[in-house]
Homo-oligomer: A and B are copies of this chain.
Amino acid sequence: MKLLIAVIQDKDTSELQESFIKNNIRATKLSTTGGFLKSGNTTYMIGIEDEKVERVLDIIKNISRTRKKYMTPPVNLDGGANEGSYPVKIQVGGATVMILPMDQFYQF
Tell whether, in the assembled complex, residue B108 and residue A103 are in contact, meaning their CB atoms are under 8 Å apart: no
Chain B residue with minimal CB distance to A35?
B26
Which residues in window 75-108 of A have CB below 8 A to B? 93-108
- Residue numbers in B under 8 Å from A102 (CB-CB): 98-100
- Residue numbers in B under 8 Å from A93 (CB-CB): 108
Tell whether, in the assembled complex, residue B32 and residue A29 are in contact, meaning their CB atoms are under 8 Å apart: yes
A13 to B14, CA, bound (A): 27
Beyond known contacts A3-B100, A20-B37, A100-B102: 11 more, CB 8 A cutoff? A1-B98, A3-B5, A21-B36, A27-B34, A28-B43, A30-B32, A60-B108, A66-B108, A94-B107, A99-B103, A99-B104
Minimum-distance CB pairs A-B, first 3 = A65-B108, A28-B34, A99-B104
